[in-house]
Structure 1
């Protein structure tokens, strides 16, 4: 910024600040109009969306521990060490009750055990999603 100092008729100083002007700022041509603002905004949104998709792609390959908990029981160590082939462990859930669906040891849903079409596999039908609070 330049300051121009001149004398007035009464010999007092007159200080004027000169602000340099860039003529391109005021120029209204095709390179400096509102359309470019919108184009840049749209480009930024596309870039942000692409970056967001890249971030999602990064987490899609993270392994998780998915568990379906049929039930549980309590027993003494003496009972545990005496278990052998053919023994039946009585669980706390009944047939038809919902099972817990956990991801990384966090309960995320309830489900029903189902038999798949080929009768050799079980599946779980999700009946309720549990929202964390």
Structure 2
């Protein structure tokens, strides 16, 4: 059996669309209107997001400050714990060295005239006792 093939319909030639000037004017007005609406929406969206962004940035900064403060406080505590005993030892050594230097260099400084010789301690002077008036008695003659 033979197969029937149908002929395709011949392509119709479409007439070119001709635009009138008022069509172009209406399309331009519509484009400007849509653009204006989109600009208003974008502006409102930007303002809303800016305030949200400001809040998020403030929270991030606050978290960073708290983290740094906690780290600094922990570091200070550790440093004080390690430095405390060493500080006491250094102060003790410094006072001992100062005392030894003063005792060893005292004679040299006296000879150079920088320091006066250490005064020898003398016993404290006592206040003279106030004299009591003498009672005179009459002698028998």
Q: Which has the higher contact order (CA 8 A, sep 6+)?
A: 1
User: Is TM more than 0.5 here?
Assistant: no
Q: Provide the TM-score with structure 1 as the length reference.
A: 0.31
Larger radius of gyration: 2
Q: Choose between structure 1 and 2: higher helix proportion.
A: 2
Structure with greater strand percent: 1
| TM-score scaled by length of structure 2 | 0.30
